[in-house]
Structures are given as C-alpha cells and as structure tokens.
C-alpha cells in the first residue's frame, strides 16, 4: 500500500539577485527569475484554482512540478531535495529557527550572501497563494521542491523575525515611528489580499504572522492557508467572536493588533486579573479620549510617541473591533488613515500629569517591560583613541514597573509637570553650602537647581546649610524666606564661621523644625548627614556626587598621566593609603542610608554590585540644568566672541570650564593643545575657570583666552561662543554639570572615556568624541575635531541639544526626585506610571 505524501514545507531564503547564477550554482535546475515588477500578480487567480488540494495529494512529483511551474511561471526555482537536506544537515534541530504558524522552521546556508529556512506544512494551499499573490508586504515564494514524498517551499528570509517577538519577548522596545510603519505595511498586505480577484481572507491575523525584514518592513506570512488550513489559534481573541468569516473578520483581528502596538499588551493574557485578560474589553473605555488614552499607552514609549497619532490609531482600533461588522472600515480605508499619521511629530515628552496605572479591582497594576538604552546603533568602539564614542547599552532584566527596582536612570522615564503634585511634601535638605553671593560649585548648583524647582511646584523645602562665605550677604539663621517669592526654599544657616559646615549645628536646627511639623522626606547632598545620624532616618535619600572607590580610580588615572620619566609623586602613596580605608568605611556604613541616589548609571552599578546595596534602595537620577538659562543663542555667541577678542576668521574655537586643577585633567589638555597649535595656529581655546593652571594656560600664547570663574548666566554666552566643549577630567566619579550645560546650549562634547560619561551623557556617536585619559589620545581626538570643522560640529550640536532637552533638564530632574520622595512617603506612588 502506497504511503501518503508528506505535507508541503516552505523554505525561506533571500530574494534572488543578478548574481543568483553564482550563488545558486549548485542547484541543477535553478533558473534566474524575473524581477521586473515584484508587486505584479504572476498569473490570474483562476489559473491556480485548477490545482486543488486533492489533486496535489494524488499526483506524482513530476506532475506537481509541471503544474506548479505552469501556474507560477518562471519566477520560481525548482530545487533538489538532496541539496536542501545538505544545507540543513537533514533538517537537523541544530538548524531549527522556531515555530511558524503551521509547523517548525529550519535555517540553512547556501552562501555567505544567502540565508534560508524551512518549515513543515500540512497542506498545499500556501503553494498556490504564495506563488500567485505577489506584493511588497507579503512573504515572497522563491522556489519549491517535489521529490519522493517531500513537499518543500522556498520563501524569502525575514531577518528580524516576528512582530510578536519584538512586542512581547524582548527588552528592547519598538519606537513609535517603527510601530506605525509596521501597522501600515501589515494593513497594505491585508488590503492587497482582500482586493484580489477572489478575495483572500487571512482568518487568523496576529502579531506572530507579521514578519519583519531588516528595515522593519512588515510582510504577512502563512496567509496562503487562510481558508484551507486548520482552525486559527484559539488563544487569539478573534476566534471566539467572529463567527462567519469575511474580510471584516480580518479587520477585527487587525484592530486587535493595533491595540497591541499601542499598549504593549497581548490580545489575551490569562496571567492578568480577570478584568484585564481581554485586551479589547479592557482598553475600550480608554480609547475615546487622549487624556484617558495615555493611561494605557505602552510605558516603554516613555512619552516618545505622537499624541495626535496615538489618538487617531486608538480611534481606528476602536472602529475595527466594533462588534457590528458593518461598522468596521475596509482595509483600503485603514491604510489611508494610517498613512495620514506619518507626518505627526508631536511627542508627549513633557505634557500633562503622570497617570495612575489602570488597576483591577484587586489592585494589580500593569506589568511592563521597558527599554533603558538611549541609542540604537550600538557597536564596539574603534581601536583608535579618537574614534567617536560607542552607544551605551544596558542589558537589564524586564522591568516590572516598580520604580524601586529600576536599574536605569529615571531620566529615561516620562514625568508630567503641568499639573500639581498629588500631595505637597515637606522636604528637609542638608547641603554643606548654598550658592549665595559666590560662584557656586557643581554640588551647590545641583542643590540649588533641584530644590528651587521643587519649591516652585508647591513643596515646602527647608535647606540646612552653612553661613554664606560672603559676609555682606544678610540671611537669617532660620526660617529665612525670600520676599516676593513664596515658592522658594526656606534657608536655615547655622551659626559659625562663614562657609564652614557644622553638621551638629544643622542637625539641631533640623530637629527643632521636625518637632514643629515632621518632614515627609530628608535629602542629603553626599555626606552632609553623617552615617551615625542617618541610621535614625528611614525617610532619608542621599545623592552621591562621588564615592571613595571612584576617587581611588581618579588617583590611579592621575598617576598614569605622568610624563615619560617623571617620578612617582610621593603624595600618590599617601593618597592611596588614605582612600583605601575610606572605601572600606563606605562599604560598612553605606547600609545606614535608607535610599541612595546615584547621579550616573555607572555609579548606580557600583553601589549595587561593588557595595552590595539592594537594588530597591539605589536610584539613578542624572543631574539637570536650567533649560531656560542654557539654550542655543547664535547671536549671543557672536557677540561674546567679539567681546573677548576672538577674530572672525578663527578656524575653530575649543572651550573648557571649571576648576583648573590637576584632577580635572588640565595637564593633559595643556600639553595636547600646545602640540596642536604648532600645526593649527588658527584654533583657539577659551578657558572659563580659575585655579593653579590658570597662568600656565596664559603662557601658551594669544590663542588661549582665560576668563576666570563665571556665573551660570555668564556661562551661557561662553557655551554659545565655542564650537565644541572639552572635558579632560581624570575624575570618573559623578558627572560634571558643564557637560550637560554645553549639550543644552547645542554644543558637542570631547570628553574622557569614563563609564559615567559614556554611559549616561555621550551615549550616541553623534554627540561627539571620547578619548583615553592620556596626551596622545587627546591630541589624536583634537586633530579629528579640527579636521571635521565647525559646520559638522554644529550639526552634532543640534543632536546634543535635542537629547539634552529630553534628559538633562532641571524640570526632568526635579520631577524624578519628586516621584522618588513621594515613593518614600507612600508606596502607592512607587508604581510607574
């Protein structure tokens, strides 16, 4: 008795090119195919109806091959079974790609330039449909094999896999524009099928059947089995509500996929509370209003989506999933509607108020996965020291939405400033200095910027600090409040020597105010509160602007920066002897602090991994700068150049700011620049700062302009006058505010390659250059900058400004701290969004 033939199995491969004769030379019956019109139907639909499933099951292989060739024309390759077995090692599990809609998928290699895959099929219908229906948004049939009892199909390889994998099985998130592109492509594919001479009903359209090529172009797979194949997956919501299948059944399924693209949720999830298991039912109340819609948008967007576009897509999804098929739009109308959304560029970055997570009756919140990475073109850095910096990526576990477990910087999340906070907080701040009457340092500027912003949002902020260094400044020692500014912080200056911090005096003032009305949260700038006092404060959060382990690295880098032949500094051993015990002490007493705020991603990793502080007590919030004070102003820059004496024909203007000391890397910059101007005398260096290296810079000649210390308002003109900002620091701890100020002013960066900088600031190639902390590497980078020129640097600056405006604003920093402080007060605020 003759054994029945095995089912058809499609075989995936890249589309044939003009070099197919060479690539496919092993195939004895390979014929180059015509590529004149990829979207053209190969034959009219009636011609393939003459081969029914029963015809194929009874016919010989020879007859099948002849019929297929006649039906499909010369666009298909007739392949040998032995060759397909050879390249897949007889369909070995080692070559298994995964599961398709109707069987397993295998991968094989013919040549370096052609990848292929195989999957099992129980019927022959896909041969007919894939071969006759050609469209850019349908998976393309390339060839077939009918030998012995095997039935194989060869179709194009889709390198990015399925939409399902990208939406639900990966940490990396698809951005809004990509999701819209996929929706449009899938809609075009369905529209083509519905518009065929004999309309093709997909039957089980879902994310697993939407495949993506290298450019994220969507192509539909498994559509050939629409009406002849097995029943659709009962896990998909459409199978239980559609009844009689029509093209409107596919429209409903497409609406479900639109909801999945908007929310990041599956159509059916049995693991969720009962009221949230069905995506269509759960989302329906939120689709009519853009205000409500943001409650259910995929949190992985982090606000980076078009508000108008999302609203229109949600309305379209609601129409598609109408229970009355007559109310559902046709696919051509859907394509037209989606294409109109492409020009929308509005982004919900800083609008509205953070929404409470939609919860079920039992309080279960929406669990999400989030993307922490700021760049998409991650690659290994070039071996040359002057190569543009690599993109930062962080391979994190899926995030549950609990802010206490977020191992990425909160700046990557979206917080909404336009509505008042849910509850006003009483906040105590311990800061060694408060910037009054002096040019503030980075820590003081951070404290001032942050807590002034929090006070302006209605929180009652009390700052406990040392007396001002400027003795002419009159400030009350307690409960001082600036007249005419009711939203500014209360400043409590303890008694004593101006500028000298006395924590015991400040602690007494704090206790007195705390007894009057308890504080909701206490914030310390670094170790302003000693650990033996901190252990008594369960509501304390400490922002670490540097930790001893990072300081130890800085000392090592400074020693490595010695000139050849220069002896080891005697102070180096003394420094190491002093820092190592400090590291050990930190490891011991850091556990006394309830919450740790790291100001860089790398510092957060160090606190978690090296100091072994539980993740839920370590929070990464990057510094922020005043986006109104530091902004791009070309005319201001020109005026400042003329004022300080830079000639109009200057080839390039470099800028550096901050304290001019050794650990800031000024010995490196001094030597590298002195060598640079021997070949490039038209390159100028503007130095905004003071310190021991001030006079040494002046000795380099007229190309160096040393301006001394500058206030933040003066720095704005400085940043706008330069072409690129240089940060040669040898201190890996913390993040210098000048980096963020320069980016906010629209300037690219040339910075030391330290984890804190490359992991949190210069996270994209376009943002500038990075170098190893030595003269040779810095000089090489400077040469690359000179070669690039001001015009290219200006384009880099535009990208820097755009990124800084979404990440490094004082508003973003203040909102992140506000959310942390609310979380400390009440765990109900710990769930994002």
In three state form, how does the secondary structure of 237-305 look?
A: HHHHCCCCCCHHHHHHHHHHHHHHHHHCCCCECCCCCHHHCEHHHHHHHHCCCHHHHCCCCCHHHCCCC
CB 174 within 8 A of CB 166: yes
For the residues of 801-814, what is the DSSP string, one character each? Answer: HHHHHHHSBHHHHH
Residue in the block written with tokens 């007249």 = 483
Q: How far apart are CA 294 and CA 636, in angstroms?
A: 39
- Cross-strand pairs, 667: none
Q: How far apart are CA 371 and CA 409, in angstroms?
A: 11
Q: How far apart are CA 98 and CA 106, in angstroms?
A: 7
Which residue, among 159, 152, 18, 22, has the nearest Cα to 83 in the 3D structure? 152
For the residues of 738-769, what is the DSSP string, one character each? Answer: HHHHHHHTT--EEEE--HHHHHHTS-SGGGEE
Q: How far apart are CA 832 and CA 541, in angstroms?
A: 19
Bond into 334 cis (ω within 30): no
Q: How far apart are CA 299 and CA 305, in angstroms?
A: 11
Task: Provide the token pair at 654.
Answer: 């470099």
CB 122 within 8 A of CB 104: no
- Cross-strand pairs, 393: none
Q: How far apart are CA 400 and CA 370, in angstroms?
A: 8
Which residue, among 427, 448, 454, 449, has the nearest Cα to 436 in the 3D structure? 448
Q: How many CB atoms lie within 10 A of CB 783?
A: 16
In degrees and rounded to multiples of 5, residue 546 shows phi and psi of 165, 140
Q: How far apart are CA 426 and CA 565, in angstroms?
A: 57
Long-range CB contacts (within 8 A, 24+) of 717-720? 717/633, 717/636, 717/637, 717/639, 717/640, 718/640, 718/655, 718/657, 718/686, 718/688, 719/630, 719/637, 719/655, 719/745, 719/747, 720/632, 720/633, 720/634, 720/636, 720/637, 720/640, 720/745, 720/746
C-alpha Rg value of the chain to the nearest Å: 32
Residue in the block written with tokens 């910037």 = 435
Q: How many CA atoms lie within 13 A of 589 on its CB side?
A: 18
**CA geometry: angle 352, 737, 617, nearest 5 deg:** 65
CB 768 within 8 A of CB 391: no
Residue in the block written with tokens 């909160």 = 410
Q: How far apart are CA 265 and CA 366, in angstroms?
A: 9
CB 108 within 8 A of CB 95: yes
Q: How far apart are CA 454 and CA 281, in angstroms?
A: 39
Residue in the block written with tokens 């982090």 = 302
Please list the active-site residues.
204
- Cross-strand pairs, 769: 388, 750
Where is 8: in which H helix or E strand? strand 8-13
**183: three-class secondary structure by DSSP:** helix
């Amino acid at each position: 008795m003759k054994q029945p033939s095995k089912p058809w199995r499609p075989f995936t491969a890249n589309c044939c090119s003009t070099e197919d004769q060479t690539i496919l030379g092993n195939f004895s019956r390979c014929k180059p195919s015509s590529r004149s019109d990829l979207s053209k139907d190969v034959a009219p639909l009636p011609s393939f109806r003459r081969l029914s499933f029963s015809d194929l099951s009874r016919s010989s292989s020879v007859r099948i091959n002849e019929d297929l060739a006649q039906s499909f024309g010369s666009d298909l390759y007739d392949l040998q079974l032995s060759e397909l077995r050879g390249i897949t090692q007889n369909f070995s599990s080692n070559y298994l790609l995964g599961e398709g809609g109707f069987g397993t998928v295998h991968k094989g290699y013919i040549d370096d330039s052609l990848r292929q895959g195989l999957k099992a099929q129980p019927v022959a219908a896909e041969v007919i449909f894939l071969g006759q229906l050609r469209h850019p948004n349908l998976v393309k049939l390339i060839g077939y094999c009918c030998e012995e009892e095997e039935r194989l199909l060869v179709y194009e390889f889709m390198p990015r896999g399925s939409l399902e994998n990208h939406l639900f099985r990966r940490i990396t998130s698809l951005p809004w524009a990509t999701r819209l592109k996929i929706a449009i492509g899938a809609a075009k594919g369905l529209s083509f099928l519905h518009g065929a001479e004999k309309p093709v009903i997909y039957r089980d359209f879902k994310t697993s059947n939407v495949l993506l090529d290298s450019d994220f172009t969507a192509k539909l797979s498994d559509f050939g089995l629409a009406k002849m194949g097995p029943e659709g997956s009962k896990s998909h919501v459409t199978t239980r509500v559609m009844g009689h299948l029509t093209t409107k059944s596919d429209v409903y399924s497409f609406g479900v996929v639109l909801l999945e693209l908007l929310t990041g949720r599956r159509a059916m999830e049995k693991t969720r509370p009962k009221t949230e298991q069905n995506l269509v039912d759960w989302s329906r109340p939120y689709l009519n209003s853009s205000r409500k819609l943001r409650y259910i948008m995929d949190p992985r967007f982090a606000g980076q989506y078009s508000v108008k576009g999302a609203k229109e897509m949600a309305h379209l999804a609601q129409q598609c999933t109408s229970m009355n098929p007559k109310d559902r739009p046709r696919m051509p109308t859907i394509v037209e509607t989606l294409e109109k959304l492409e020009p929308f560029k509005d982004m919900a970055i800083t609008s509205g108020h953070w929404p409470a997570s939609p919860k079920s009756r039992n309080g279960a919140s929406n669990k999400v996965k989030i993307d922490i990475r700021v760049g998409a073109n991650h690659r290994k850095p070039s071996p040359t020291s002057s190569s543009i910096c690599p993109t930062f990526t962080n391979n994190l576990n899926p995030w549950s939405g609990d802010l206490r477990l977020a191992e990425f910087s909160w700046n990557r999340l979206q917080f909404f400033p336009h509505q008042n906070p849910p509850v006003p907080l009483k906040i105590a701040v311990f800061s060694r200095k408060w910037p009054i009457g002096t040019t503030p340092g980075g820590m003081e500027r951070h404290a001032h910027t942050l807590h002034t912003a929090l006070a302006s949002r209605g929180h009652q902020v009390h700052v406990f600090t040392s007396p001002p260094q400027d003795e002419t400044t009159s400030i009350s020692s307690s409960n001082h409040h600036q007249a005419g500014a009711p939203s500014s912080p209360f400043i409590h200056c303890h008694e004593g020597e101006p500028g000298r911090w006395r924590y015991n005096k400040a602690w007494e003032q704090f206790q007195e105010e705390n007894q009057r009305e308890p504080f909701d949260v206490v914030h310390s700038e670094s170790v302003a509160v000693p650990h033996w006092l901190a252990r008594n404060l369960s509501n304390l959060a400490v922002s670490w602007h540097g930790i001893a382990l990072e300081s130890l690295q800085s000392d090592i880098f400074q020693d490595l920066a010695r000139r050849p032949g220069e002896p080891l500094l005697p102070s180096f051993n003394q420094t190491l002897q002093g820092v190592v015990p400090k590291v050990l002490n930190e490891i011991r007493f850091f556990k006394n602090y309830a919450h740790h705020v790291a100001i860089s991603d790398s510092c957060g990793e160090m606190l978690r991994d090296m100091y072994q502080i539980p993740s839920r007590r370590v929070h990464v919030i990057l510094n922020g700068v005043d986006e109104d004070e530091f902004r791009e102003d070309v005319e201001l820059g020109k005026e400042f150049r003329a004022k300080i004496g830079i000639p109009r024909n200057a080839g390039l203007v470099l800028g550096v700011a901050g304290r001019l000391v050794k650990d800031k890397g000024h010995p490196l910059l001094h030597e590298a620049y002195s060598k640079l101007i021997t070949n490039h005398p038209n390159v100028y260096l503007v130095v905004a700062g003071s310190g021991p290296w001030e006079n040494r810079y002046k000795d380099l000649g007229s190309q160096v302009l040393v301006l001394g210390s500058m206030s933040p308002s003066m720095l704005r003109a400085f940043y706008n006058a330069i072409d690129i900002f240089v940060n040669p620091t040898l201190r890996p701890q913390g993040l210098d505010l000048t980096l963020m100020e320069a980016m906010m002013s629209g300037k690219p960066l040339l910075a030391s390659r330290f984890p804190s900088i490359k992991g949190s600031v210069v996270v994209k190639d376009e943002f500038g250059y990075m170098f190893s902390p030595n003269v040779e590497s810095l000089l090489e980078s400077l040469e690359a900058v000179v070669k690039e020129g001001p015009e290219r640097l200006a384009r880099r600056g535009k990208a820097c400004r755009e990124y800084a405006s979404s990440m490094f604003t004082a508003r973003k920093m203040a909102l992140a701290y506000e959310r942390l402080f609310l979380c400390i007060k009440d765990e109900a605020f710990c769930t994002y969004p």
